[in-house]
Amino acid sequence: MKELVLKALKILKIEDVPPFPHYFEWALTHSSYANENGVPSYERLEFLGDAVVGLVIAHQTFENFPKMAEGDMAKVKAVVGSEPVLSEVSKEIGLSKLVLIGKSLRSSDDSLESIFADIFESTMAAIFLNFGFEKAYSTVEGLLKDKINAATQKKIFFDYKTMLQEYTQDKYGTLPEYLLVEEKGPSHKKIYTFKVIVNGQICGKGMGKSKKAAEQEAAKDALKRLKKI
């Protein structure tokens, strides 16, 4: 097996030999690298992994919090399955260090956050395809258990736009403005970039798979610059 696959298995604490090791290699390959080197990317695996991860989060929430209302369960699933959380987990376990990216993205750390979230999902799909759902389930559960508990206790909070609005109104008596500065990718795989302006000054920048997600990232960046969060 290739060294990349061996490193991924070590991070995931999987000792069994995968029958289809190439799935792990594909799971860590961004389209920019794939296009430059003529190899498959993680995009199809990410599609499958998103479903696997979402089901585990939903089931764990359903089982462990029997009195939680459907609407609250949906919020927990949305938070734990969000780009910031999955990206954070990828970085915490070291999976983010293995991703293969093209030369065009290597100079921009901001653009990597969504990629780190994507490879979490695609790697879970690789586990599913190699070892079955039970192994994939236990892996996702182990990696996201603390995040699920934190979300149910509302210790994970991502409404940065509201936080920024309250902060700027209190400090400057004005509201932040969001400006779309870039929209790239095919129609089914758009990446948006927004800047947020406070008092005529650009205070933050963010990227996301939706305009709302990009605005949240821009607001988060602005809050980091304006105050510690």
| Residues known to be catalytic | 50, 121
Question: CB 11: neighbour CB atoms within 10 A?
Answer: 15
**228 CB burial (10 A radius; 0-12, 13-18, 19+):** exposed
| Residue 191, CB-side half-sphere exposure with 13 Å CA sphere | 12
What's the rounded Cα separation, in Å, for the pair 180 and 223? 18
DSSP-derived 3-state class of residue 3:
helix
The answer to whether the CB of 133 falls within 8 A of the CB of 124 is no
Q: Which of 48, 57, 10 is nearest to 27 (CA)?
A: 48
Token representation of residue 75: 């919020």
Question: CB 229: neighbour CB atoms within 10 A?
Answer: 11
Q: Using N-to-C axis directions, what is the helix angle for 83-93 and 112-131, rounded to 10°?
A: 70
The answer to whether the CB of 44 falls within 8 A of the CB of 135 is no
Edge to edge, the sheet with strand 177-184 lists 177-184, 191-198, 201-208
